Structure 1
């Protein structure tokens, strides 16, 4: 009985994962990535410097 219950639970969870589909379209997802594709800075330019002195 426990095995049957475990198998049924796995099947129910599996069907739940398969039956879910995204509510957004590809265009919505691409638009989201375009808005997130900005620099994570406040606009200030910083000079990069060598850490080990180069030698």
Structure 2
């Protein structure tokens, strides 16, 4: 299972990354890689990766 965590460099994101790394493949891009303000531009990068949303 692929898990996308945004804000992974913060305190909560760090703990989420640590916890979910035991469950599946954690993807934690930085702001330069995945800028949610420019989602259309970065969607081509993330489109091939299947994410489980919950």
Normalising by the smaller structure, the TM-score range is: under 0.3
Q: What TM-score does the superposition give when structure 2 sets the normalisation length?
A: 0.25
Structure that is richer in strand per residue: 2
User: Which structure exhibits the higher relative contact order, with contacts defined as CA atoms closer than 8 Å and separated by 6 or more residues?
Assistant: 2
Q: What TM-score does the superposition give when structure 1 sets the normalisation length?
A: 0.25
- Give the number of the structure whose alpha-carbon radius of gyration is greater: 1
